[in-house]
Amino acid sequence: MYRNCLKIDDFAKCSDDLAQARDYAFSSGREFGLAVGLIPIPLAWGAAYICLWLTRWVRRGFQKDAIPVYDLKDGRLK
């Protein structure tokens, strides 16, 4: 970017403009960078919790005594 300033007669003005652009770019990106860095953490924990809960729920359903079975003849549990 500074190569463009070398072609212009007023190097100081061009350099100041680039410095202001750089300062703006660095200052406005901090909040976004913080959000990008921290928001995925609770989302990942939530996804892991849901996967774990779903796995346990499905495994519980396949257990032998998970669902009570009634005998239709006398109405008692087997």
Model's pTM, two decimal places? 0.48
CA 58/CA 35 separation, integer angstroms: 35
pLDDT tens-digit readout, 39-66: 999 999 999 999 999 999 998 888 776 6
Residue 27: count of CB within 10 angstroms of its CB:
9
CA 42/CA 48 separation, integer angstroms: 10
Percentage of the chain beyond pLDDT 70 is 69
**Mean predicted confidence (pLDDT) in 21-29:** 76
User: Which two structure tokens, joined as six digits, stand for 25?
Assistant: 């770019």
The residues spanned by each domain of the chain are 1-38, 40-78
Is residue 31 over pLDDT 70? yes
Contacts of 4 (CB under 8 A, 6+ apart): 14
Residue 77's DSSP bridge partners are: 70
42 vs 11, which has greater pLDDT?
Answer: 42
pLDDT of residue 15: 77
